[in-house]
Amino acid sequence: MSIKHEDSNVVLQNNFVTETKTETVNNKKKNRLLAIESFAVLASIILFGIPFYFVIINSMKSGKEAAEMNLAWPSAFHMIENYKEVLTVSNGVVLRAFFNSTLITISSITILILVCSMAAFVLQRREGKISKKANYLILMGLMIPPAIVPTIWVMQTIGLFKTLPGIVLLESALHFSFACMLYKAFMASIPRELDEAALMDGCSSFRFYFQIILPLLKPVTSTIIVLSSIQIYNDFENMLYFFPGAENATVQLTLYNFMGMFGTSWHLLFADVLLISIPPLILFIFFNKKIVAGMTAGAVKG
CB 276 within 8 A of CB 123: no
Residue 21 forms part of a structural domain:
yes
Q: What is the pLDDT of residues 70-107, one digit of tens each?
A: 888 888 888 888 889 888 888 888 889 999 999 999 99
Long-range contacts for 177-181 (Cβ within 8 Å, ≥24 apart)? Answer: 177/138, 177/139, 177/141, 177/142, 178/142, 178/224, 178/227, 178/228, 179/112, 179/113, 179/116, 179/224, 179/228, 180/116, 180/119, 180/120, 180/123, 180/138, 181/120, 181/138, 181/139, 181/142
Q: What is the distance between the alpha carbons of residues 113 and 224, in angstroms, rounded to a whole number? A: 8
Residue 235, domain extent: 79-301
Q: What is the pLDDT of residues 177-206, one digit of tens each?
A: 989 988 988 888 888 788 778 778 777 778
Q: Is 81 exposed, middle or buried (0-12, 13-18, 19+ CB in 10 A)?
A: middle
Note whether 182 and 241 are same-domain residues.
yes
Note whether 135 and 234 are same-domain residues.
yes
Residue 65 forms part of a structural domain:
no
End-to-end CA separation in angstroms for the chain: 65
Note whether 245 and 280 are same-domain residues.
yes
Residues of the chain with pLDDT under 70: 1-23, 25, 260-262, 288-302
* Domains in the chain, number: 2
104: CATH: 1.10.3720.10
Note whether 122 and 21 are same-domain residues.
no
Residue 292 forms part of a structural domain:
yes
Note whether 247 and 186 are same-domain residues.
yes
> What pTM was estimated for this model as a whole?
0.79
Note whether 128 and 31 are same-domain residues.
no
Q: What is the distance between the alpha carbons of residues 257 and 293, in angstroms, rounded to a whole number? A: 39
Note whether 10 and 128 are same-domain residues.
no
Note whether 238 and 179 are same-domain residues.
yes
CB 61 within 8 A of CB 72: no
Q: Identify the three-state secondary structure at position 259.
A: strand
How confident is the model at residue 300, as a pLDDT?
A: 46
Residue 200 forms part of a structural domain:
yes
Note whether 38 and 102 are same-domain residues.
no
